Structure 1
């Protein structure tokens, strides 16, 4: 079950002759099912009003659905060619476009359960707002690609495992580690300085990318002679007035992402909701907003694992959000087979896709049990595949599907998937 590489070989620099075409809320992408808008949600954090506006945008301008992305953002599909101005005005009024020039670089993931059932760990949610503010105030940051990723982890190691470019890991005693790329070492700073240090790390990357002349989009794409150095980063932090020290070797923690866990206790409880394949109707989305609102605040948190956390959901009568969400076709129970199945857009939305992978995934979700997650891809690009863990790789071809690189007849997919998902992955993974 080899994982396909997420970037080009690190032995050779990535050299590009064009800019980043990653879609945003203002730069729409033309897809086979209409235009697509990707709305950045730093940290996945939405208040009730913002979430309501996203539902309205999907209904007014799109196909009536909202898609959750592997970076905790929200996509709207099926948009009309002339909707750009109206969509931008709607999002801006809700505070979802604080800096139009920076809207595609606001790629920040954060521990979804930060501050919720996490005694002894720092609450990184305030860091999200501060880093977002600093990003939007930095003219230099506009040069970042739409793929550059910040991760703010409360110390458990969930979002730190998502291959971010800059990782901030909370530590005890008011300290935090800042990691550049996937290095084993880090730089330690005070938690109060963590958001600023993260921005300075991104600006350091931009300087290195300019020196390399390769138009790298991510830290991992820098050629070896331009690789970021922790000692130089400490020097840059000191010059900016941030006290920092190098930590040469760190054992980085790892935690599983949050999963649906049941109704909880009391009249309000945090809920983890899984929309199958990360796609919700406007009606389902509005139900989540209502349950979150009736629970007394806390808004919604979109996770990089295409789930939604409701920090304070009303779970008892008369609202009984748990039962209503379950009855609406969303997953809130542990051990549901949808918990480990993901897919790219596939046909008919993507012109490059060779199959309707979502329909095929739905047809087999109850017939292919196993411990390992499976990702259905419509082509070899494997968009949206899992990060940081072993997974079963199912890719559409002109003749059907390849399962972990082996052609597999459609009639044998269920059995082959079950076998692959119950096989222990190689130790190297």
Structure 2
């Protein structure tokens, strides 16, 4: 996996040189941000941050006001000069590089979208979108073509001749996004880009960003103070407090394994069902019936021994074919008791509920409401990965997840007792 942005031991202290020097020594001595500002007047923006952002991922940096998240973002393209540490983009140093080289990096590799739309009211949407290319000296025909492509990707091409005051706030922000994309940057920096929008428009913009990212596969560094927004759009999240990075991980990792008490408090009111997925809640079945290797008598014996009412059926490639009911298998074996080989192929039912591993638990609720058996989790190739039952969903959403899982010794497998008997329908 290629590293797009590498941040090493990055520190930013705001203040005079003498105050900064004192603040550095106090940081080394383990003093807090509040102690440092009281004694020196210097403010610690970021302290000793280490992050690697992968190419093509949406990486969210979040935290409360004053946590250092916007300072971190602005140091990536050196709009703010670091006090110490290193930043590189695709292995190329940003810190310590010349002004000309930095200008090239900003023009060719990195674009930025701000919270305020920063559109020129006297310019059309097309003119606003091509403005960055214009100041780079790109010819009119070329920059217009690039701007129109960016507007088309953002769903705004039909509005290219209108002016910003003719568009809604959400549409204006999409213009800002299109302008940032017009020069086809490898990295997109977004500083609380949606926080000025109304809640419904903000949610729409989050959805549009996710869809746009699926098409363009850019490296996006997104700043927010909203945990729900971070969980909704981020592949990984860095959570900051008082200038320090306290945890980096996927939304699921942060929810299920908070690094400390601060993170636990931060996430305590999150709707976990919208973040955790089938992959998190599922368990692998203890026993599956391979139709190419095992027959009806083996299936019946296993169900009788384990008190199973059905078994999931796979082939040699572990592709899910369906399931067989115990009552069907028992009747089939009885009817054909004189035959030596009895395959279950003719008994396989295919009406089992199926979801993808990345299906949110919130979405699983709807499937579960109409299901009389555990839900099969299947990948794109049709391979059975695991099973999800209502008990698993409840356990995965419990606050004290580890304790609940330890207490739950019943592994749910593609096989359940009579209370989950499959209907005859």
Q: Same fold (TM over 0.5)?
A: no
Q: Which has the higher helix share?
A: 2
> For the superposition of Structure 1 and Structure 2, which TM-score range results when normalised by the shorter chain?
under 0.3
TM-score (norm 2): 0.24
Q: Compare CA radii of gyration and give the structure with the larger one.
A: 2
TM-score (norm 1): 0.24
